[in-house]
Amino acid sequence: MIESVIYAALSKAPWIIVLVLLLQALRAKYNSGLNAIPGPALAGYTDLWRFLVVWRRRPELEHIKLHAAYGNLVRIGPRAVSVSDPAAIKIIYGLNAGFVKSDFYPVQQVVAGGRPLRSLFNSTDEKFHAKLRRAVSNAYAMSTLLNFEPLVDSTTDAFITQLEQRFADRPGLDGVCDFGKWLQFYAFDVIGELTFSKRLGFVDKGIDAESIIGNLEWMLDYVSVVGQIPWLDKIFLKNPIRLWLSKHGLLTSKSPIAAFALQRIQERNSEKLASTIPHSRDFLSRFLEAHAKDSSFISQERVTALTVANIFAGSDTTAISLRAIFYYLLKDPAKMAALMAELLAQQREGHFNQEAKFVKWEEVRELPYLGAVIKEALRCHPAVGLTLERVVPEQGITICGQFLPGGTIVGCSPWVIHRSKDIYGPDSHIFRPERWLEADSVHLSEMNSFLFSFGAGSRTCIGKNISYLEMYKVVPAILMNFELEFARPDLKWTLHNAWFVKQEGFKVRLRRRCSQG
């Protein structure tokens, strides 16, 4: 009797599961207050739609296409809405707007000692973020970073030397440089030098040192997809068993970046090596000062998290921006010629030490065409390729004439915002630096305010100035030392969107410039 009842129940179990899932999907679709917002049919029922879109690795194109079809608001999940109206940036990301980061961000927290480590970037706690930012923000001010300029110059000198020795003026395949890869090597080593006064070894060795890049790419592939259904992270990497094993030292999930950081911190804390520490005050020294002032909040564990976040957030994104700058210039020789004319004019006026392989910030920071090229590359190819998700406050909000209930996930994508014809003109889809020089003061202010490459509001990327310092210095340095051309002009690069939109297949040939002119 009991066996027959159990058998009957089990035989109906699949249908019960299907019914429960169907009811859940219907509830998600019709009980969220978002029915009036258009979007793909499946997206209203399940987050599986956006999971699959990101898994296919070109979600930025899907978002652009959807907004072209549906307008300013697109429903991309049962409780998720993408917004294309630039005016919404001030509503969603403005200071004290009350929108907190969504559960997408904690997926990016690494685990140490059985606990996920919060950082400025991945924390959803606004009070924690504000306190931590106050403790370390001075280290990221441009006035502070200019003291780091010799560290940037050191890596730039090594980078130019390696390009000269390995690729410049070489015939055949020996002269083909995977420029995209080498720009990433450069960006990693600069942030390593700024953080630890020690390069990670990419430029000097010409390899992915300690598989750091490979590890980071794996993590980005994971968080970009799993972050669309964040509770999956509690099953895969942050389940109770893995956290318990990590807490008791039975599971080592330490990334190569974390291992490098811990080694540098141990060296810095060692009195034996105190006399060998460079006089330059790098990020690590400033984080340790913050630790000394308030060790209960800036613990040694948090110092490690801050240094790891520097490498994670400050390397890949800058490399992506540098690739975009050079790629677009090579695709449009007239733009390259205009920039070279500006740089050579500076040289004729006595700037740029011809014996050095780098330029000074003061020599380039106000060059108008260089600035326009950098801004336009950031606009055309922003590093971040997903919506920057926020959670609507409990009372709800009206955006683009539509009320969004509290708890709705809402956000803007830089790839969508930067293609606004209202802000950037009817040719917003093309690379044209001149738009930044032709605009009147009112329009220029508007374009700048909606340049969303580094986010907006209190959560604007704290490393923004680092990225600008690198770009303004290394772009002229490379162009004054080399003439570049595509190794295969007939080939386009390929893009891989795993949270950051990385480019692949960007190969060039380099020729030394005669007397840099």
Mean model confidence pLDDT for the chain:
92
Give buried/exposed letters for 405-423 (b at 16+ CB in 10 A, else e). Answer: eeebbbbbbbbbbbbbeeb
In tens, the pLDDT along 374-386 reads: 999 999 999 999 9
**Span 323-343, average pLDDT:** 99
The pTM for the full model equals 0.93
Total residues belonging to the chain: 517
**pLDDT computed for residue 514 by the predictor:** 77
**Span 430-437, average pLDDT:** 99
The SS3 assignment for 299 reads: coil
**pLDDT computed for residue 137 by the predictor:** 94
**pLDDT computed for residue 222 by the predictor:** 98
**pLDDT computed for residue 272 by the predictor:** 45
| 217/503 Cα distance (integer angstroms) | 12
What value does the CA radius of gyration of the chain take, rounded to a whole number of Å?
Answer: 25
**pLDDT computed for residue 19 by the predictor:** 56
Task: Evaluate if residue 161 carries a pLDDT over 50.
Answer: yes
Residue type, 323: R
**Span 230-243, average pLDDT:** 96
**pLDDT computed for residue 176 by the predictor:** 98
Looking at 244-253, 359-368, 378-387, 503-512, which range is the least confident one?
Answer: 244-253
**pLDDT computed for residue 256 by the predictor:** 83
In tens, the pLDDT along 8-46 reads: 555 665 656 655 555 566 565 566 799 999 999 999 999
| 313/309 Cα distance (integer angstroms) | 6
**pLDDT computed for residue 262 by the predictor:** 86
Quick check: 420 and 84 in contact, CB under 8 A?
A: yes
The SS3 assignment for 74 reads: strand
Phi first, then psi: what are they for 83, rounded to 5°?
A: -120, 135
Pairing verdict, β 402-404 and 115-116? unpaired
**pLDDT computed for residue 379 by the predictor:** 99
**pLDDT computed for residue 516 by the predictor:** 46
Comparing 108 with 32, which gets the higher pLDDT? Answer: 108
**pLDDT computed for residue 251 by the predictor:** 83
**Span 345-359, average pLDDT:** 84
Comparing 287 with 257, which gets the higher pLDDT? Answer: 287
In tens, the pLDDT along 171-203 reads: 999 999 999 999 999 999 999 999 999 898 999
Task: Evaluate if residue 348 carries a pLDDT over 50.
Answer: yes
Of 152, 166, 179, 394, nearest in space to 283 by CA: 152
What percent of the chain shows pLDDT beyond 70? 91
> Tokens representing 32?
């969220």
In tens, the pLDDT along 86-107 reads: 999 999 999 889 999 999 999 9
| Segment holding 497, helix H or strand E | strand 494-498
How confident is residue 506, by pLDDT bands cut at 50, 70 and 90? Answer: very high
**pLDDT computed for residue 26 by the predictor:** 56
In tens, the pLDDT along 260-284 reads: 888 888 888 885 455 555 555 899 9
SS (H, E, C) 190-228: HHHHHHHCCCCCHHHHCCCHHHHHHHHHHHHHHHHHHCC
**Span 233-250, average pLDDT:** 92
